[in-house]
A = this chain, B = another copy of it.
Amino acid sequence: MRKLHLQDRKKMIHNFNAGPSIMPQEVFDKAANAILNFRDTGLSILEIGHRTALFQSVLDEAVQLVKELMKLDADHEVLFLHGGATTQFFQVPMNLLNENQSAAYLDCGTWGTKAIKEARLFGNVDVVASSKDKNYTYIPKGYKIPADAAYFHYTTNNTIEGTEMFSIPDTGVPLIADMSSDILSYETDFNRFALIYAGAQKNIGAAGVNMVVVRKDILGKVNRKLPGMMDYRKHIEAGSMLNTPPVFAIYVCLLTLRWLKNQGGVHAIEKINKAKAALLYETLDARQGFEPTVAKEDRSRMNVVFLIPDPLLEKKFIDACKEQQMVGVKGHRSVGGFRVSLYNALPLESVKALTDLIKQI
């Protein structure tokens, strides 16, 4: 629920988009101001040089806030890179998997499947488990990760299928996670990961930048020669300024990270995220005609996926959402149904409005 700050409009909008997605109103306000006059310089954030002290302070503070919010140790570096998580699907194996090696992958959704496909270009891929048999509506358990795997890769939250994996697998091999859609939404031991990547457009900022957290000791061990822009070590050396970074997108990350810190950080937002998800799932479970698709123990707190099998009720729901200014409830084009995304910036009030609608419809 957000009030527009423009004087002539007062309508409330509930934005359940899966990404790009809702962001805090104060981020919009500050971002708009920075475009007109950045830090009282008289210049727009869009026209300042990236190698100025001005932008360096933006980047430094954003990196520092990530370290603080994720409680990262000194071995982990924070990078802001171009290309989105989809670029990481191949950048990870390009940097970490030799041709004669094998990497272990968990196949629990669309994004994991894509990551597996790209990894196969660089070495062997051992798919240790898959939930494809049930359309990825659960998270596989009880699989073994080979001790000689170059690394183990999984997706912590499956944006499209609505599953989420909260426990970190116990393995001796380097852990790598695509956390695009649930990073910074709950407390976990981020230091257990050798590499984490996340497109910014859910919980970190807006579309156009990708965050990578990497433990330095896993780098430099691959045989192949890497293009400069694909080499994590070069980005670390250059402090995410190997080339012109996406200046504005990084500034929006900074604003979002500051907002998160002011909310009380990850610990505080986790409580709210749990309350939002609990309220919605309880309402869906209690309401006949609405059918969550995911196994209860694997339900995502970020993306709630459900079906309305009755076409009449479905239409009624769609119309009611439209009338009540609720946007982004439609399921992903590949799976249909409905998907309601509850990222950090979505207020509890929006979930209350939606659950009231579901109860009353």
Contacts and interface: CB of A to CB of B under 8 A. Distances in A.
A339 to B, nearest CB: 11
A128 interface: no
Interface stretch (A20-28, A100-108, A148-156, A188-196): A20-28
Contacts of A199: 243-244
Interface string A18-46: 11111100011101110111001011101
Given A36-B6, A208-B209, A229 B83 contact: yes
Contact of A248 (B4, B17, B85, B208): B208
B228 A90 contact: yes
A248 B247 contact: no
A237 to B, nearest CB: 14
Interface stretch (A48-56, A213-221, A294-302): A48-56
Interface residues of A, number: 70
Contacts of A15: 43, 47
Contacts of A37: 4, 6, 9
A9 B38 CA distance: 13
Contacts of A83: 82-83, 87, 229
Nearest to A17: B49
B36 A32 contact: yes
A47 B29 contact: no
A118 B242 CA distance: 14
A123 interface: no
Interface stretch (A167-175, A262-270, A279-287, A325-333): A325-333
Given A20-B48, A208-B208, A229-B90, A35 B31 contact: yes
A244 B46 contact: no
A252 interface: yes
B42 A21 contact: no
A23 B43 contact: no
Contact of A46 (B9, B48, B117, B206): B206
Contact of A42 (B11, B33, B35, B249): B11
Interface in A245-294: 245-249, 252
Contacts of A328: 49
A197 interface: no
A5 interface: yes
Contacts of A44: 23, 28
Interface string A82-123: 111111011000100000000000000000001001100100
A206 B4 contact: no
A227 interface: yes
A350 interface: no
Contacts of A28: 35-36, 44, 46
A350 to B, nearest CB: 13
A239 to B, nearest CB: 14
Given A20-B48, A51-B333, A86 B249 contact: no
A320 interface: no
Contacts of A22: 47
Interface of A: 4-6, 9, 11, 13, 15, 17-23, 27-29, 31-33, 35-37, 40, 42-44, 46-51, 82-87, 89-90, 94, 114, 117-118, 121, 199, 201, 206-209, 225, 227-230, 242-249, 252, 325, 327-328, 333
